[in-house]
């Protein structure tokens, strides 16, 4: 879905058929709206005929009683037309809103299924455009496009039939301008099709830019990038404006052209009618009726250009939306998922190879095993593949070669839902949703009781700060947790992991962004949380992983070393060098250096951390 290139069809029967599937559940509503639309069109075509009768049959002969009756009938037709128009508008809008609600839910449901690989390739702003602007374009088509278009066509046919019935020669005079109108409409459609595709593309670019730069506003301000980004935004905004102006230009030419042709038709009718009046082959009533019909005839043609605009925009949006819905960038679910009951948490990577793109391998033939209830620490420089291992374990991506098992069961045979229920993850960059603290802990899982939440918060040590918040667990967190500190957000993520009570715990650099006091608080809670659980730890500070049962060292996607903290120090390999870089002011001699309780060299209190 990376490209915005589309077929450019103004009307696509396949897309229309797919859209009508969303209308099908509301077929009775659609039928009723169509009936009201046709009835409105039928009544509107009666008014000029009644006017002709009033003039020729009553005014011309001085029949004022008959004129009063026909006037009341005209009034009744106008009132009936107004009532039917109200019903038509309400029903078509209701139909559009119901169908679009289902479509929007399908889009969101589909987006939730897609793998992270898809989101790596597609800007978030573009996806937001699909779920908002493009869906609204379809709403406009369904609520005021398709049914109204049918009504306009029916009205045009009705007008032509009545006009031919009244006087076929006058009708042919009026129709003499239609070839010019059809040619102008053809040129208009061809030009506006391209411009509307460009408008939709520029809207997506603008949304993508705004989403990205509002999210990264802190970085922009830190590096004083405001003037440059303002210019970048101006360039994109200007392109969006120019695309709209180009589209408006074609409309500004088309509408006056239709008005001109309408006026020419009216002038021809008046001229020819004058000749016929002198010959006494035409009545005043017919002339008045024809003048009204000409206005009624050309108005739907102008409306048809609006409907074409709606249809063109909707077809472009529909093509984009269904291209998204047809995206298959998600991992296949097993036909018969393996049961996760009784799983203890023994994890094994067997000759795993993985690349995000092509054969640019991020992991190369990685193999390791961690027994249930044990602690594995992963160490390596940035880009070595540490976080990728966690993503693969959670089935965010599919490996190209090798095998990953839990208790001997390949994770490909475990459903995503069951697998992720087994794993609790605490990330360095904690994401909190808009909502209460409690909602951010439970994430909508109603099986997690208030007592369990408070117990988890107490165990983690988050209770004191949460209880100080206005309304405590009911405190409303702003987007991304902006009103909370980094440490507070991380504590909430620990409470979340604790409340979910996972079999496997993943700590992805979870304490590298907090102050010393908060880190000590988290480390104490972590010890309790990891007890009896298979735990995988990734940390900048090597001091946090010295008690791990096994440490693996990654370098450029290759597992270079494996062992306990002391074993790796004695090997004097890559881990030793990383440790030396971190604590370079201390001598690396376990026998003589000040040590921690596990016999490891005691790190300097303010040692710089880096992996």
Q: What percent of the chain has pLDDT above 70?
A: 91
Mean pLDDT computed over 11-40: 87
Residue 590 has pLDDT above 50, yes or no: no
DSSP 601: B
C-alpha R_g of the chain: 36
Helix 516-530 vs helix 486-500: angle between axes, to the nearest 10 degrees?
Answer: 10
Give dist(CA 236, CA 247) in Å, integer: 17
What is the model's pLDDT at position 602? 45
Of residues 521 and 368, the one with the higher pLDDT is 368
Structural domains in the chain, CATH included, are: 13-325 (1.20.1560.10), 347-582 (3.40.50.300)
Q: Cα 328 to the chain's mean position, in Å?
A: 16
Q: Which carries the bigger pLDDT value, residue 600 or residue 391?
A: 391
Residues 6+ positions from 150 with CB-CB distance below 8 Å: 34, 37, 38
Higher pLDDT, 203 or 585: 203
Average pLDDT value for residue range 57-70: 84
Render the burial of 552-591: b for 16+ CB within 10 Å, e for the rest. Answer: bbbbebebebbbbbeebbeeeebbbebbeebbeebeeeee
Mean pLDDT of the chain, nearest integer: 83
280 pLDDT tier (thresholds 50, 70, 90) = confident
| pLDDT value for 599 | 40
Distance, CA of 455 to chain centre: 37
The 10s digit of each residue's pLDDT in 133-184 is 888 888 888 877 677 777 888 888 888 999 898 888 888 988 888 888 878 7
pLDDT in tens, 521-573: 777 777 877 888 899 998 767 777 888 999 999 999 999 999 999 999 999 99
What does the pLDDT read at residue 601?
A: 45
Q: What is the tens place of the pLDDT at every residue in 194-215?
A: 777 788 788 888 888 887 888 7
Highest mean pLDDT, choosing among 117-131, 241-255, 489-503: 489-503
Order across the sheet with 423-427: list the strands.
423-427, 504-508, 534-538, 375-380, 550-555, 558-563
587 has pLDDT over 80: no
Residue 192 scores a pLDDT above 80: no
Token output for 424: 């609790």
Reading the block at residue 106, the tokens are 């399908």
pLDDT at residue 3 tops 70: no
Query: How much is the average pLDDT of 327-353?
Result: 87
Q: Which of 99-113, 170-184, 330-344, 521-535 has the highest mean pLDDT?
A: 99-113
């Amino acid at each position: 879905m990376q490209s915005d290139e589309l077929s450019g069809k103004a009307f696509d029967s396949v897309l229309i058929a797919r859209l009508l599937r969303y209308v099908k559940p509301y077929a009775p509503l659609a039928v009723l709206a169509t009936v009201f639309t046709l009835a409105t069109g039928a009544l509107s075509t009666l008014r000029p005929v009644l006017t002709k009768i009033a003039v020729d049959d009553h005014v011309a002969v001085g029949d004022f009683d008959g004129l009063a009756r026909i006037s009341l009938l005209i009034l009744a037709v106008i009132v009936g037309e107004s009532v039917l128009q109200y019903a038509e508008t309400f029903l078509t809008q209701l139909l559009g809103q119901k169908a679009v609600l289902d479509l929007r839910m399908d889009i969101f449901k589909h987006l939730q299924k897609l793998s992270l690989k898809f989101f790596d390739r597609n800007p978030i702003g573009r996806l937001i455009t699909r779920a908002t602007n493009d869906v609204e374009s379809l709403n406009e088509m369904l609520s005021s496009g398709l049914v109204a278009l049918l009504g306009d066509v029916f009205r045009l046919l009705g007008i032509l039939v009545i006009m031919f019935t009244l006087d076929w020669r006058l009708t042919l005079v009026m129709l003499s301008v239609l070839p010019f109108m059809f040619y102008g409409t053809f040129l208009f459609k061809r030009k506006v099709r391209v411009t509307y595709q460009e408008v939709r593309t520029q809207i997506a670019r603008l949304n993508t830019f705004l989403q990205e730069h509002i999210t990264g506003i802190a970085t922009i301000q830190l590096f004083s990038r405001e003037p440059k980004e303002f210019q970048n935004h101006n360039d994109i905004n200007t392109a969006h404006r120019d695309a709209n102006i180009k589209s408006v230009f074609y409309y500004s030419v088309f509408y006056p052209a239709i008005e001109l042709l309408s006026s020419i038709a009216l002038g021809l009718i008046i001229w020819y009618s004058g000749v016929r009046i002198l010959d006494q082959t035409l009545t005043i009533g017919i002339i008045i009726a024809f003048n009204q019909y000409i206005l009624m005839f050309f108005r739907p043609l102008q409306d048809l250009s609006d409907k074409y605009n709606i249809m063109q925009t909707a077809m472009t949006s529909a093509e984009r939306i269904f291209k998204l819905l047809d995206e298959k960038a998600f991992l296949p679910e097993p036909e018969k998922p393996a049961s996760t009951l009784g799983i203890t948490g023994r994890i094994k990577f067997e000759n795993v190879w993985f690349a995000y793109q092509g054969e640019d391998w991020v992991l190369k033939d990685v193999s390791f095993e961690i027994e249930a209830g044990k602690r594995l620490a992963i160490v390596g420089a940035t880009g070595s593949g540490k976080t990728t291992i966690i993503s693969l374990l959670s089935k965010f991506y599919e490996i190209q070669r090798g095998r990953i098992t839990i208790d001997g069961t390949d994770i490909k045979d475990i459903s995503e839902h069951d697998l992720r229920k087994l794993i609790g993850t605490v990330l360095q960059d904690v994401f909190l949703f808009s909502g209460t603290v409690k909602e951010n802990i439970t994430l909508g899982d109603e099986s997690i009781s208030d007592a369990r939440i408070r117990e988890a918060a107490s165990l983690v040590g988050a209770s004191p700060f949460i209880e100080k918040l206005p309304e405590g667990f009911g405190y409303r967190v702003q987007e991304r947790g902006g009103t909370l500190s980094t440490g507070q957000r991380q504590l909430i993520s620990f409470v979340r992991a604790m409340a979910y009570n996972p079999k496997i715990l993943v700590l992805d650099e979870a304490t590298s962004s907090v102050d010393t006091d908060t880190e000590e608080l988290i480390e104490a809670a972590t010890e309790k949380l990891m007890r009896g659980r298979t735990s995988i730890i990734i940390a900048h500070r090597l001091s946090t992983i010295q008690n791990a049962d096994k440490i693996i060292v990654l370098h450029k996607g290759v597992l270079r070393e494996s062992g306990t903290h002391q074993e790796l120090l004695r090997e004097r390999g890559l881990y030793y060098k990383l440790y030396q870089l971190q604590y370079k002011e201390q001598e690396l001699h376990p026998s003589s250096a000040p040590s921690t309780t596990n016999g490891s060299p005691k790190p300097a209190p303010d040692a710089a951390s880096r992996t």
